[in-house]
């Protein structure tokens, strides 16, 4: 089996450093080896999380041990590399929108501000904004409001009424019986993505928001037009 081609992963375009942190490059700017750091460390690379694109984080999740993954990538939900910019297609739209939805929810679950909100639709609005809203982002590193080619905003909006109730902090999402179209790696052949075989990628806890009753936010008809 050929060795992993980490050297082919491009660096973040806005990163001040010449290479993204592979195991060989995990040395901080003080010259200390990453081996001297604690288990959940930042490897001394104080880059903004926007520098860690979905492609970089996907490669880290695939190639590195959990304690070696950068803090910006640990809680990012990346089901497949088929939802990276330039690799998605009409075939993968449903899969990529599920990934986007899960990421929208986990972002709200990890938002400490949700721990102090009163009863209302605050959590649902957070999820809607991340999944559908004009200020939401697609792959990490895109500017706010950028259209996500892998899960277009119009399609996400059309799905929201069907999935909105799943984006509440006390609702557990179970995808173990779900299969959606995907592509065989390196081909144009269609297969199925089996969520039951990837539970470690999409199951997560929701620590914030469940302390008070939460209601679903639905757009008005004028907003949907």
Query: Which of 108, 87, 95 has its CA nearest to residue 201?
Result: 95
Alpha carbon of residue 123 to chain centroid: 18
pLDDT at 119 over 70: yes
Query: Which of 82, 133, 143 has its CA nearest to residue 108?
Result: 133
Centre a 10 Å sphere on the Cβ of residue 42 and count the other Cβ atoms it contains. Answer: 15
Q: Is the dihedral of CA 87, 92, 96, 97 positive or negative?
A: positive
Confidence of residue 184 (pLDDT cuts 50, 70, 90): confident
Amino acid 145: pLDDT:
54
Query: Which of 195, 127, 120 has its CA nearest to residue 159?
Result: 127
Mean pLDDT score, 87-112: 95
Q: Are 20 and 37 in contact (CB under 8 A)?
A: no
Mean pLDDT score, 151-170: 95
pLDDT at 160 over 70: yes
Q: What is the distance between the alpha carbons of residues 126 and 114, in angstroms, rounded to a whole number?
A: 9
Q: What is the distance between the alpha carbons of residues 2 and 98, in angstroms, rounded to a whole number?
A: 32
Q: What is the distance between the alpha carbons of residues 135 and 214, in angstroms, rounded to a whole number?
A: 22
Q: What's the chain's Rg over C-alpha atoms? A: 18
pLDDT at 17 over 80: no
Question: pLDDT per residue over 186-196, tens digit each?
Answer: 888 999 999 99
Amino acid 44: pLDDT:
42
Amino acid 148: pLDDT:
85
Mean pLDDT score, 102-114: 95
Confidence of residue 182 (pLDDT cuts 50, 70, 90): very high
Question: pLDDT per residue over 27-38, tens digit each?
Answer: 343 344 444 444
What is the value of pTM for the model shown? Answer: 0.75
């Amino acid at each position: 089996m050929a060795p992993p081609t980490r050297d082919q992963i491009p660096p973040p375009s806005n990163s001040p450093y010449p290479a993204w942190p592979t195991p060989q490059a995990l040395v901080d700017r003080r010259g200390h080896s990453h081996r001297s750091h604690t288990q959940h460390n930042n490897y001394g690379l104080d880059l903004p999380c926007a520098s860690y694109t979905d492609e970089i984080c996907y490669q880290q999740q695939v190639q590195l041990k959990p304690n070696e993954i950068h803090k910006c990538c640990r809680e990012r939900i990346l089901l497949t590399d088929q939802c990276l910019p330039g690799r998605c297609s009409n075939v993968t739209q449903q899969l990529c929108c599920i990934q986007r939805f899960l990421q929208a929810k986990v972002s709200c679950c990890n938002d400490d501000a949700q721990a102090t909100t009163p009863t209302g639709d605050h959590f649902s609005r957070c999820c809607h904004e991340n999944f559908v809203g004009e200020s939401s982002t697609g792959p990490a590193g895109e500017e706010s409001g950028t259209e996500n080619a892998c899960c277009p905003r119009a399609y996400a909006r059309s799905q929201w009424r069907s999935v909105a109730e799943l984006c509440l902090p006390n609702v557990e999402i179970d995808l173990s019986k779900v299969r959606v179209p995907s592509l065989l790696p390196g081909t144009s052949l269609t297969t199925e993505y089996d969520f039951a075989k990837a539970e470690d990628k999409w199951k997560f806890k929701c620590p914030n928001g469940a302390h008070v009753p939460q209601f679903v936010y639905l757009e008005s008809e004028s907003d949907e037009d």
